[in-house]
Amino acid sequence: MKLLRFGAQGQEAPGILDGNAQIRDLSSVLDDIDGVTLQPELLDKIKGLDLTSLPIVDGDVRLGACVNKVGKFICIGLNYADHAAESNMPIPTEPEVFSKFTSAICGPNDDIIKPKNSDKLDWEVELAIVIGKKASYVSENDAADHIAGYCVCNDVSERTFQLERGNQWDKGKGCDSFGPLGPYLVTADEVADPHNLGMWLDVNGKRFQDGSTKTMIFKPAFIVSYLSQFCTLEPGDVISTGTPPGVGLGQKPPIYLNVGDKVTLGIAGLGSQSQTVVAHS
């Protein structure tokens, strides 16, 4: 299933994409797409619906983040060996963990807001995991059972804030609009092999990232198991799993985003995003 949220910011309603790529309104069935509705028994209920009985939604409607009420937004850094190399950083022996503030979450096509005093605004196409069942000290073999699905994330980053202001990554990762999620939450049963998904990102029509999840160092099941040793993962939590090479920091010379730039990105089977950079008001 491809679950989504549509409508004005703060007023999103739950929806689902039908077999004809039309949005159907799930409001009569669910209050929202969140940790409550992503648990296995409720996903099974949604799977059993006759989608043709649900109202069709205007295809031009705004899409919100594909999951709401996210408790934790955890990220894995340097999870592609070739991206670590372009960043001049060593390949990690354990996952490099940081967080985005949940206030960074926005819709897949909402504007990227360039923060005040930003001079190194960067992009990162990433595969994000959405948790569907509580996970605490789970084994790698059992971890997949705790994944509700996957979505596209742009791990927008401000490199000066991240790397030159005390080397605390969260400051450069959690600004407003730095976590577009969606367009869809694609349930795990529809992602045959999360370890072999093509992913891409363009800036102003030029391809900068063209990679695949097959070059991940730490795979989704391992990441879920690993994180569950340090905190309980709750339904609705989001884990963004790292980016392939081609970020602005890795260009020679580096290239960064400016007001007016357009970023488009996507992952095979998970849909695409499109954002325009705007100045902070």
pLDDT in tens, 115-172: 999 999 999 999 999 999 999 999 999 999 999 999 999 999 999 999 988 877 899 9
> Is there a domain that residue 97 lies in?
yes
Query: Collapsing DSSP states into helix, strand and coil, what is residue 14?
Result: strand
Residue 6 and residue 62: Cα distance in Å, rounded?
6
**Distances in whole angstroms, Cα of residue 193 to Cα of each of 83, 226, 250:** 22, 20, 28
| CATH (domain of 109) | 3.90.850.10
User: First vs last Cα of the chain: how many Å apart?
Assistant: 38
CB 14 within 8 A of CB 185: no
- The answer as to whether 163 is a domain residue is yes
pLDDT digits (tens, 9 = 90+) for 219-241: 999 999 999 999 999 999 999 99
Is residue 47 included in any domain, yes or no?
Answer: no
Q: What share of the chain is helix, strand, coil (3-state, %, to 5)?
A: 20, 30, 50
**What's the rounded Cα separation, in Å, for the pair 201 and 84?**
18
Euclidean distance between CA atoms 98 and 77, whole angstroms: 7
Higher pLDDT, 209 or 164: 209
Residue 44 within any structural domain of the chain: no
- Return contacts of 136-142, CB within 8 angstroms, 24+ apart: 136/228, 136/232, 136/233, 137/228, 137/229, 138/224, 138/225, 138/228, 139/225, 140/221, 140/222, 140/225, 141/221, 142/225
Residue 124 lies in a domain: yes
* pLDDT band of 113, cuts 50, 70, 90: very high
* Residue 43: inside a domain: no
Domain total in the chain: 1
Asked if residue 6 is part of any domain, the answer here is no
Which DSSP helix (H) or strand (E) runs through 154? strand 147-154
List of residues 6+ apart from 164 with CB closer than 8 A: none
26 found inside a domain: no
User: Which pLDDT does position 36 carry in this prediction?
Assistant: 94
pLDDT in the model for residue 238: 98
Q: What is the extent of the structural domain holding 244? A: 67-279
The candidate with the shortest Cα–Cα distance to 268, out of 216, 190, 176, is 190
